[in-house]
Amino acid sequence: MQQARKGSAMRGAIGVDLGGSHVMAAVVDEVGEIHGTFEQDIEDHTPASVVEILATVVRSAIESSKHEIAGIGIGSPGNIDPGTGTIRYSPNFGWENVPLGQRVRELFPKYTVFLGNDARCATLGEYVHGVGQGTKDFVLLTLGTGIGGGIVSNGILALGHQMGAGEIGHHQIRPDSGFVCGCGKVGCFEAQASGTGLIRHAMRLAPSFPRSVLLDVPREKLGSKAIRKAAQTGDQHALAAWTAYCDDLAIGLANVIAFVNPEVIALGGGVSSAGDFMLDRIKPLVELRTTMVPRGTTRIVRATLGNDAGAVGAATAAMRGGLLARLPPTAVA
């Protein structure tokens, strides 16, 4: 545990994880530890309503904090201009050009406000305070409803020409035979290898397995966890879905290795809780598909910050004044 500096409160920031149906604000200190979270569901997606709910949880977090709050960092889905804090496009909210950062700044004029893409924020959090520590080349992939990701290359978080770097979920791995992706393309990595992808593999294979235990699960309750657990107990249908899923995941991971040659790829999100049951299966498949890059030089591990990565990363960005993966040498104590 870090000690607070004598005579002054420890520095911290408010990190906000803004999702399509839920918002969470956390008080996060300089070493990435969370000191209290405040959450609310989002039902009304109009910008005014989302801003109001967001402001409520942020206010609660600030009031609860014993830290010297350096700023408010918000990780939001969508393509975001971090300079202005404008959400250019967010499919989750159906927004275009919403100046969310500006609205929050008006409500909290005492604080600096940073707004960035949620997956990039999570990557920063995991890189600075999680399993990415000590590496220079790092990739985070969150296998949830979709696939969120981010790339750190030579110690710098890749943002891209128009903030689009790291959209790993939307490179196509099965353009001819895959599932339709939320983005409109066919066979995107996200469509095949997210938690939703696992469910779709199970659905597609269902006609071949009339005795599957998965058929006893009500359709609305058929989640990726139920499929993974059935696979672990040896159900043939679930195992076939799991095998198809891991094949697709491995294709994408080998592509990521070819693109950025990371030292570590961290897997987060619901499906990654399968742990070794997943890692033991995918590692040899990734090796098999790794060419040109020296084999066995990328470690594939589980992410360690879990659902907190986004809020921790957003707070870290607020404290650093942006998505800086590595502080300039002069700023390092």
Where along the sequence are the contacts to Zn ion (CB under 5 A)? 170, 181, 183, 185, 188
Return d(Cα 117, Cα 142) in angstroms, integer. Answer: 14
Return d(Cα 76, Cα 97) in angstroms, integer. Answer: 13
Supply 155's token pair. Answer: 């110690």
Q: How far is the CB of 169 from Zn ion (least distance, A)?
A: 6
Q: How far is the CB of 185 from Zn ion (least distance, A)?
A: 5
Query: 134: alpha, beta or left, given left = phi > 0 and alpha = psi -120 to 50?
Result: left
Return the number of the residue (2 or 162) whose C-beta is nearest Zn ion. Answer: 162
Q: How far is the CB of 237 from Zn ion (least distance, A)?
A: 26
CA distances from 148 to 140, 167, 191 (A): 8, 7, 12
Sign (positive or negative) of CA dihedral 38, 43, 44, 45:
positive
Return the number of the residue (197 or 270) whose C-beta is nearest Zn ion. Answer: 197
Return the number of the residue (12 or 146) whose C-beta is nearest Zn ion. Answer: 146
Q: How far is the CB of 25 from Zn ion (least distance, A)?
A: 29
Supply 290's token pair. Answer: 């790794």
Burial class, 293, CB count within 10 angstroms (exposed 0-12 / middle 13-18 / buried 19+): middle
Residue found under tokens 């520590």: 133
Q: How far is the CB of 139 from Zn ion (least distance, A)?
A: 18
Q: How far is the CB of 171 from Zn ion (least distance, A)?
A: 8
User: Cβ atoms within 10 A of the Cβ of 203, count?
Assistant: 15
Return the number of the residue (181 or 264) whose C-beta is nearest Zn ion. Answer: 181
Return the number of the residue (111 or 245) whose C-beta is nearest Zn ion. Answer: 245
Return the number of the residue (170 or 281) whose C-beta is nearest Zn ion. Answer: 170
Q: How far is the CB of 260 from Zn ion (least distance, A)?
A: 19
Return the number of the residue (181 or 227) whose C-beta is nearest Zn ion. Answer: 181
CA distances from 136 to 156, 263, 310 (A): 8, 7, 20
Q: How far is the CB of 264 from Zn ion (least distance, A)?
A: 25
Q: How far is the CB of 190 from Zn ion (least distance, A)?
A: 5
Return the number of the residue (186 or 203) whose C-beta is nearest Zn ion. Answer: 186
CB 26 within 8 A of CB 14: yes
CB 308 within 8 A of CB 268: no
Return d(Cα 74, Cα 83) in angstroms, integer. Answer: 13
Return the number of the residue (92 or 212) whose C-beta is nearest Zn ion. Answer: 92
Q: For the sheet containing 34-41, what is the strand order?
A: 34-41, 22-29, 11-18, 68-76, 112-117
Q: What is the CA radius of gyration of the chain?
A: 20
